[in-house]
Structure 1
Amino acid sequence: MQLETGKTSHGLVGSFRTIIREEGVGRLYRGLVPPFLLEAPKRAVKFATNDFWGQTYLNLTGETKMTQNLSVLTGCSAGATESFVVVPFELVKIKLQDKTSTFKGPMDVVKQAIKKDGLLGLYVGMKSTFWRHVWWNGGYFGCIFQVRTLLPKAETQQAQLMNNFISGAIGGFAGTLLNTPFDVVKSRIQGTTRVPGVVPKYNWTYPALVTIFREEGPAALYKGFVPKVLRLAPGGGVLLLVVEFTLGVFRKALGPPYI
């Protein structure tokens, strides 16, 4: 959906039907390998760097407890760090999912990118990916902090798990709302076939936002929002629930000084 240019769009259901009718059910899983390999290290980096930057900003500001502003800043910093891990995997995924793709598989994308532009060829779309993750993580962790303060205090483990899921899901929705325009731009930049000597139409993040807005209208900046939010809102809740549950297990096993 994000790679479609123009003001018309098939929509979520229409896209499913078109892909299945024209390319078969198997096409729905095209590009599965990159996100499958990326998911665990990406989430580990997200929460590890969020803890690192949180402690760093607390030390720098002299605060003893996390605040709303610090939680947003911490999330943005974690997203910036995370983006460096994500870019090559996202590039491979987009190249494979493009309707016009002729690549044989993930390694074919990697080989051709390196052959054409060297190792930096794997980092096409770095800037747009950077902003995509900055805004998602800022919205995600910022909302988690705020929602947790509004929810009733959990008296049981089950209530705590539910609070984590709710705050994480709302954070996932907010992050998706903030970062979808940057995700559209990232998809356009990474999906473009570069011609030597020709400046790509979608090249820099913020100018590309303006180009899409001007040529396709504001709605085009939110192409793919529905499938993204259906994945990332509940996914954000499950993610926080699993992380907090796992940390709780390690705290009991190792003791507070270690976790």
Structure 2
Amino acid sequence: MGLKGFVEGGIASIVAGCSTHPLDLIKVRMQLQGEAPSAARQAATIAARQPALAFTTPNIATVAAVAPPRPGPISVGLQIIRQEGAAALFTGVSATMLRQTLYSTTRMGLYDAMKQSWSDPKTGRLPLAKKITAGLIAGGIGAAIGNPADVAMVRMQADGRLPLAQRRNYRGVGDAISQMVRGEGITALWRGSSLTVQRAMIVTASQLATYDQAKEAIIGNGLMSDGLGTHVVASFTAGFVAAVASNPVDVIKTRVMNMRVVEGEAPPYAGALDCAVKTVRAEGPMALYKGFIPTISRQGPFTVVLFVTLEQVRKVLKDF
């Protein structure tokens, strides 16, 4: 096989990543909704420690001001267009391209290599357990390689929601990475890497294994032939499973990567577990599924474009 699986997977991943980037940006913005700035968080903590006044009637207007209704994905998208312009929906697309080149090319190529190596030589089939194992390994390695681009992408996508004085204003993925290294040290490029690896293992195992399993089941049961319809159904099924499995880790990953660390101040989160605990305490358990609608709205089309493109690329390169 050589590098063919990496090339096929890389091309398909870049096409899928760029075409669904606006949905990913909306997802990131929604995952950060309700996250208080560090100063506000400290003030809330101090206020919570003060003894409550007796016979105090809650002020409904104050409660509403503290917890305003959160907009949905369409509202978030329209808000971005109104405030930042339509081009803002593609903020961070250079980081997406680098991320797909590093992360997805690696995971797709490694998964394909392991699938071919581990498949039954007589039937060409691979048991589901081995598919999941291959996905876990490929996803973890790919994520570790692509983490710097992932951090840059999250920060660039989140920048527009910050006040003008606090924005990082990265000019591109290269500028983002160089500024992080200069200002925060090279270790900042692997901030949240444990979460990135965990998410990637979950996504790759559920996405690739589900696609292969669904495709085999559809063709094997005579429901459809090996064509576009089968590829679309199998890939959308894979996207749904991957979104459900990975969303909680994705929310925590987004917040840890995006947190602003100020010298002399304690960081907003001490780590992934601390972020998860603070998020659930402040916003409830369902906060871990914040941004799920845009996640599935993005994961579905992304997975469909990914596998449909992959199948077409394989046809083009079948003689190479």
**Cα deviation, residue 4, structure 1:** 1.7
Structure 2 match to 1:160: 227
**What is the DSSP-based 3-state SS (H/G/I as helix, E as strand, rest coil) of the residue aligned with 2:227?**
helix
Secondary structure of 2:306's counterpart equals helix
**Structure 2 vs 1, CA of residues 210 and 54 (structure 1 numbering), >3 Å: closer, same or farther?**
farther
Match of 2:202 in 1: 135
Indicate which of 177, 185, 189 corresponds to 2:244: 177
Cα distance between partner residues in 2 of 1:29 and 1:197: 34
Q: Aligned to 1:151, what secondary structure does the other structure show?
A: helix
The match for 2:81 is 20
SS of alignment partner, residue 4 of structure 1: coil
TM-score normalized by the length of structure 1: 0.84
* Aligned partners of 1:80 and 1:130 also within 8 Å: yes
**Counterpart residue number, 1:113:** 180
Amino acid at match of 1:227: P
* Alpha-carbon contact 2:118-2:126 (below 8 Å) kept: no
Q: 1:223/1:248 Cα in 2 relative to 1: closer, same or farther (>3 Å)?
A: same
Contact between 2:102 and 2:146, CA under 8 Å: does it hold in 1? Answer: no
User: Are residue 3 (structure 1) and residue 32 (structure 2) matched?
Assistant: yes
Verify the 8 A CA contact 1:168 1:233 in the aligned structure 2: yes
- Could you tell me how far apart the structure 1 residues matched to 2:317 and 2:94 are? 30
Aligned counterpart, 1:66? 126
Provide Cα deviations, 1:147-198, integer angstroms capped at 9, x if missing partner: 123214498x974332222212211111111111111111101111113354
Aligned to 2:5: none
C-alpha distance 192-222 of structure 1, shift in aligned 2 (>3 A): same
Name whichever of 238-247 and 120-129 sits farther off: 238-247
TM-superposed deviation, 1:43: 3.1
Distance in structure 1 (CA, Å) of the matches to 2:143 and 2:267 = 22
Residue 50 of structure 1: CA displacement? 0.5
Q: Distance in 2 between matches of 1:57 and 1:214?
A: 44
Contact 1:139 1:178 in 2 (8 A): yes
Give the aligned residue type for 1:35.
T
The corresponding residue for 2:106 is 45
Structure 1 residues without counterparts, runs of 5 or longer: 255-259
Which amino acid in 2 is paired with 1:4?
Answer: Q
Would you say the 8 A contact 1:141–1:171 is kept in 2? yes
Choose which of 299, 303, 312 in structure 2 pairs with 1:232.
299
Distance in 2 (CA, whole Å) between partners of 1:56 and 1:153 is: 22
State the match for 1:257 in structure 2.
Answer: none
Are 2:167 and 1:79 equivalent residues in the alignment?
no
One of 244, 263, 267 as aligned partner of 1:200:
267
2:41 is matched with: none
Supply the RMSD in Å over aligned alpha carbons.
Answer: 2.7
CA shift in 2, pair 1:207/1:68, >3 Å: farther
Q: Say whether the 8 Å CA contact 1:170–1:237 is kept in structure 2.
A: no
Count of aligned pairs between the two proteins: 249
Q: Which has the larger radius of gyration?
A: 2
Q: Which of 173, 177, 186 in structure 1 is aligned with 2:253?
A: 186
Give runs of ≥4 in structure 1 deviating > 6 Å: none
Distance 1:219 1:173 in 2: 18
Which of the pair has the greater relative contact order for Cα pairs under 8 Å at 6+ separation? Answer: 2
Q: 1:110 deviation in Å?
A: 1.9
| 1:182-233 deviation digits (Å, cap 9, x = unpaired) | 1111110111111335443334324422332222112211222222222221
Alpha-carbon distance, 1:13 to partner:
1.7
- Give 1:20 shift: 2.7
Say if 1:185 and 1:202, in contact at 8 Å, map to a contact too. Answer: no
Is residue 53–residue 77 contact of structure 1 (8 Å, CA) maintained in 2?
Answer: no
Residue by residue over 1:42-73, the C-alpha shift from the partner in whole angstroms, topping out at 9 and shown as x without a partner, is 432222110233356669xxx98411111111
> Percent identity, aligned pairs only?
23
